[in-house]
Chain A
Amino acid sequence: MAKVTDLNVNGKKMSVDVDATASLLSVLRNDLHLTGNKYGCGEGQCGACTVLLDGQPVRSCITQVARAAGKQVTTIEGLERDGQLHPLQDAFIKADAMQCAYCTSGMIMSAAGLLKKTAKPTRDEIIEGMNGNICRCGAYQRIIEAIQIASGQPTTKEAA
């Protein structure tokens, strides 16, 4: 079986020895012990496993690790810079945009992908861009606010 031996994760070269068909999520979590991104459904439906591949959000649970070879993988662990939280991470705390927070890593990674594409998304664009991510605790309103804060926009509440 074909193997993958090198990955570039969060700006670092990492050695692995895994089947090419293994899911990127299982390699990140079980082999590289980067457990910030989560398993939620295994069918790309909930977004808890979202990571960036060359800046694009992907569902790592249905992405074979071979697809990540030669690309820049960014996980939630790679967002902090010099011990400083990413603006999205700060905004999630500020807006209290989490309850159990199991979905939070995936939410932040999806939002990071969204903001790369659209620097100042409208409320509707946030809803459309984030619709593949499930928060069972239902913190959607606050997650939208967090994305608005992180993109330097007034929140829906402030705008009303």
Chain B
Amino acid sequence: MIDEQNLVNQIEPDRFELFEKPLYNFSFDRRDFLKGFSLGIVFVVPVTRALAQQQGEAGRGGFNQSLPNDVGAWIHLDEDGAITVFTGKVEVGQNTRTTLTQSVADELHVPISSVQLVMGDTDVVPFDMGTFGSRSTPTMAPQLRKAAAAAREMLIAMAAEQMKVAPSDLKIIDARFVNHDKSKTLTLAEVAKGRKLVKVIPADIPITQPKDWTTAGTSVPKVDAKAFVNGAHQYTTDIQREGMLYGKVVRPSAFNATLVSADAKAAEAMTGVRVVTEGNFIGVTASDQQVATRAANAIVANWKAAPQPSNAELFDLLRKPANERRGGGEGGGGGSRPQGSIADGLAAADKKLEQSYSVAYIAHAPLEPRAAVAEWIGDKLTVWTGTQRPFGVRGELADAFHIPPERVRVMVPDTGSAYGGKHTGECAIEAARLAKAAGKPVKLVWTREEEFTWAYFRPAGVIDVKSGVKNDGTITAWEFHNYNSGPAGIQIKYDIPNNDIRYHESNSPLRQGSYRGLAATANHFARESHIDELAHAVNVDALEFRLKNTKDERLRGVLTAVANKFGWGKSKPAANHGFGIACGFEKGAYVATCVEIALESPTSKEDSRNKRVRIVRVVEAFDCGAVVNPMQLKNQIEGAIVQAIGGALFESIDFKDGKVLNPKFSSYRVPRFNDLPLIEAVLVDRRDIPSAGAGETPIVGLAPAVANAIFNVAGIRLRALPLAPKGLSL
């Protein structure tokens, strides 16, 4: 079922989602594998069905079979009845630790509290490409469910033998084996006691369908929540090691600068300071963070950098494409060919429209900046770091230090957010380089300025749209060119017979990469703004216009759900208030968003000539198939809407000559409490449809809905994100 290569093809690759194959196959020496576990039973899930058939199901003895080379997951039941699940996914705030735990508990019929997840530790978890693309729920959850379902059946068989009853007479209820009249019971621990088994389970075992879920589908609170509210949880930035030093890197004067010379005498004279210089890398270590910073500041480095573009010339630059690709991306429905003829479609139209839209570079600004603690013991490197790609970072480290990946262990503590911004291992490599020189563990925490400058950005982009519409509201032509921002969410769910949709790669002046929802935000902003313009051109209500042009049942479902909850068409906005609507589809999930905005007097800090755009209310309907955890899903939707407010209204990276000009929270505005609208999330729970991931797609509807609401109240069509960084000049 889980075909990794197929998965790679389905996800939009961009230059920072460099998917590497595992550099080596896990060679499962049985003794090595078992060393990691105490007594008990390990259930191993092969990756592919073919492989599973090739290996065959485990014999009861467990020691006689060979183990598969590619393992997708494993679950360990220890002698005390505790269940530990091992997965390469990581927790970055999307609460996948909670929802995956629910899936396993659901399948095993045990309480949530008896299941622990070990995540993102490359020495003990199976290979995983990374936690991105909203794949954990649609792919990892079923994989773990299979493991758990098989474990349940095997355990029942073992318990039946011990209890001298037929397996069909046993069920697991609340972590106990119970026979039909409850006259005989046995605990999980009693079955695991004294065993040391490895069971390979069949990959095609049926899993519980959403209609029969018990633990899944309910609002389980964040697991380990207590450790997050009392400060006990250790993020990477909190890790201490014996003898640990603090690191600091001297940054280049500009992007792409090369080091000409460096004078580090003053730094080297400081007590306990070591300076490490190699190529373009200059860093220091010290026993104290302050001293490390002082030492780095004392180094006089001369850098050479060529002149570089600024955001003033950005969009002209992006229009010079480096490459062309048909719109694709998993969410967009795969690559597509042009359909019909744009010329014919325009000829059939009563009204034609041609407009351009743009989006700025924005930063993820995860509140926990990039951080790493690196430690060499002999020739083995261990790095704790917050990344979405533990195995990817392991590969980066192995490459950087010319060592085999087996000698690198990457561990990812539950991390202070990522939003697509932590795919890479820069900080891990820097910390490891410093630790290697120092011969001691080194902690390196990027400053906020470093995170804003030396991470990567959500791609900027320009989108040109040409279209035609009949007076009755039928769209006849749709030509769509996206320059640079990406193909995610580029495909239409509108039934337009003549369409030509393309994505053009450009040479981005800034380092760019994944961001929550990828280009789906840009493509939805352009498409749903343009749709609104078409509706206005033929004087059709914005909701009615959308419904008229799509037969997609799920898209119509979320549109209808959001309109009902919002009261679309039921009342006119108050004076200086506007309504807007938008909808879309990405990564298997459907979204529709209604907003109410108000134009208000600016605050004392804002331009007094402009009106302040305040988002008063947001209603968003979301259909991601069967809902695993309604409360966590609502939390994700609310969070995505809040994050979207930044990119929609005011976030933008200002850059010039290889420097970011606003690399601080005091100059780069992010959404705060006083930007918060009343948010209502409407869940369209489709128990008949497998769950899609939900961390990303709820972000795409807000920006176009706000742009449409601004037009609704002010008659001004804004076509660039951010829409109103300095307010709205009327």
* Contact partner, B635, options A22, A89, A99, Cβ 8 Å: A99
A43 within 8 A of B: yes
Given contacts A30-B288, A93-B229, contact A103 B672 (CB under 8 A): no
Enumerate chain B residues within 8 angstroms of A103, measured Cβ to Cβ.
367
Given contacts A26-B290, A100-B368, A101-B93, contact A130 B673 (CB under 8 A): yes
Given contacts A77-B230, A138-B671, contact A38 B237 (CB under 8 A): yes
Q: Which of B419, B632, B639 has the most CB of A within 10 A?
A: B639
Q: How far is the CB of A52 from chain B (nearest CB, A)?
A: 13
A54 within 8 A of B: no
Q: Give the contacts of B346-370 with A (CB-CB under 8 A).
A: 364-369
Given contacts A131-B674, A136-B366, A136-B417, contact A99 B231 (CB under 8 A): no
Closest to A99 in B: B93
Q: How far is the CB of B138 from chain A (nearest CB, A)?
A: 20
The reply to whether A48 and B289 contact each other, CB–CB distance below 8 Å, is no
A60 within 8 A of B: no
* Contact partner, A133, options B222, B414, B640, B673, Cβ 8 Å: B673
The reply to whether A38 and B679 contact each other, CB–CB distance below 8 Å, is no
Q: How far is the CB of A156 from chain B (nearest CB, A)?
A: 7
The reply to whether B289 and A26 contact each other, CB–CB distance below 8 Å, is yes
The reply to whether B230 and A41 contact each other, CB–CB distance below 8 Å, is no
Enumerate chain A residues within 8 angstroms of B631, measured Cβ to Cβ.
96
Q: How far is the CB of A50 from chain B (nearest CB, A)?
A: 12
* Contact partner, A35, options B234, B447, B635, Cβ 8 Å: B234
- The CA-CA distance from A108 to B228 in the complex, in Å, is 11
The reply to whether B664 and A98 contact each other, CB–CB distance below 8 Å, is no
A24 within 8 A of B: no
Given contacts A98-B222, A100-B93, contact A41 B674 (CB under 8 A): no
Enumerate chain B residues within 8 angstroms of A76, measured Cβ to Cβ.
229-231
The reply to whether B95 and A99 contact each other, CB–CB distance below 8 Å, is yes
A42 within 8 A of B: yes
The reply to whether A36 and B230 contact each other, CB–CB distance below 8 Å, is yes
Given contacts A100-B367, A103-B367, A136-B670, contact A43 B448 (CB under 8 A): yes
B-facing mask of A98-140, CB < 8 A → 1, else 0?
A: 1111111100100000000000000000111011011111111
B238 within 8 A of A: yes
Interface residues on B, range: 35 or more
- The CA-CA distance from A130 to B232 in the complex, in Å, is 23
Enumerate chain A residues within 8 angstroms of B232, measured Cβ to Cβ.
36
The reply to whether A45 and B635 contact each other, CB–CB distance below 8 Å, is no
Enumerate chain B residues within 8 angstroms of A29, measured Cβ to Cβ.
238
Q: Give the contacts of B633-660 with A (CB-CB under 8 A).
A: 635-636, 638-643
Given contacts A89-B229, A141-B638, contact A40 B673 (CB under 8 A): no
A4 within 8 A of B: no
Closest to A92 in B: B229
- The CA-CA distance from A71 to B234 in the complex, in Å, is 27
- The CA-CA distance from A33 to B443 in the complex, in Å, is 14
Enumerate chain A residues within 8 angstroms of B231, measured Cβ to Cβ.
34-37, 75-77, 105
Enumerate chain B residues within 8 angstroms of A42, measured Cβ to Cβ.
447-448
- The CA-CA distance from A101 to B672 in the complex, in Å, is 16
Q: Which of A75, A93, A138 has the most CB of B within 10 A?
A: A138
* Contact partner, A33, options B92, B240, B638, Cβ 8 Å: B240
* Contact partner, B643, options A37, A101, A138, A141, Cβ 8 Å: A138
- The CA-CA distance from A35 to B643 in the complex, in Å, is 27
Interface residues on A, range: 35 or more
Enumerate chain A residues within 8 angstroms of B640, measured Cβ to Cβ.
138
- The CA-CA distance from A140 to B93 in the complex, in Å, is 14
Enumerate chain A residues within 8 angstroms of B417, measured Cβ to Cβ.
99-100, 102, 136-137
Enumerate chain A residues within 8 angstroms of B94, measured Cβ to Cβ.
99
Q: How far is the CB of A130 from chain B (nearest CB, A)?
A: 5
Q: Give the contacts of B413-432 with A (CB-CB under 8 A).
A: 414-417, 419
The reply to whether A136 and B229 contact each other, CB–CB distance below 8 Å, is no
- The CA-CA distance from A156 to B229 in the complex, in Å, is 22
The reply to whether B635 and A139 contact each other, CB–CB distance below 8 Å, is yes
* Contact partner, A134, options B93, B237, B445, B672, Cβ 8 Å: B672
The reply to whether B228 and A101 contact each other, CB–CB distance below 8 Å, is yes
Enumerate chain B residues within 8 angstroms of A101, measured Cβ to Cβ.
93, 222, 228-229, 233, 416
- The CA-CA distance from A138 to B666 in the complex, in Å, is 18
Q: How far is the CB of B643 from chain A (nearest CB, A)?
A: 5
Enumerate chain A residues within 8 angstroms of B368, measured Cβ to Cβ.
38, 40, 100, 102
The reply to whether B665 and A137 contact each other, CB–CB distance below 8 Å, is no
A68 within 8 A of B: no
- The CA-CA distance from A47 to B375 in the complex, in Å, is 31
A144 within 8 A of B: yes
A46 within 8 A of B: yes
Q: How far is the CB of B418 from chain A (nearest CB, A)?
A: 8
- The CA-CA distance from A128 to B674 in the complex, in Å, is 7
Q: List 15 A-B contacts (CB under 8 A).
A: A26-B289, A29-B238, A35-B234, A35-B237, A38-B367, A38-B368, A40-B665, A43-B664, A80-B230, A96-B632, A99-B93, A101-B233, A102-B417, A128-B674, A138-B638
List the 3 shortest-distance A-B pairs measured between CB atoms, nearest first.
A36-B231, A138-B642, A100-B93
- Besides the known contacts A85-B229, A96-B221, A144-B676, 17 further A-B residue pairs in the complex with CB atoms under 8 A apart: A26-B289, A26-B290, A33-B240, A36-B230, A41-B448, A43-B448, A89-B229, A93-B226, A98-B222, A99-B93, A99-B639, A100-B415, A102-B368, A130-B673, A136-B366, A138-B640, A139-B639
